[in-house]
Amino acid sequence: MTVSHLSHLRQLQDENAKLKCMYADLVLMHHAFKEVVDRKL
């Protein structure tokens, strides 16, 4: 692999980690909202 390939791979890995973190935050928010809605019903 060339240096540019490795650099691009690293960028993709960083972006993937960021997206996984964003997804985890959304899952937590979803569960929190679901609990609030379930309590009101």
Which residue is it, tokens 């980690």?
Answer: 17
Which residue is it, tokens 């972006």?
Answer: 15
Cα–Cα separations (whole angstroms), residue 39 to 12, 27, 28, 29, 36:
41, 18, 17, 15, 5
pTM (two decimals): 0.76
Looking at residue 15, the DSSP 8-state letter turns out to be H
Q: Using DSSP, how many helices (H) and how many strands (E) does the chain show?
A: 1, 0
1-5's contacts with Cβ under 8 Å and 24+ in sequence apart are none
| Domain spans in the chain, listed from the N-terminal domain onward | 1-41
- pLDDT tens digits along 1-41: 899 999 999 999 999 999 999 999 999 999 999 999 999 87
- In this prediction, residue 1 carries a pLDDT of 85
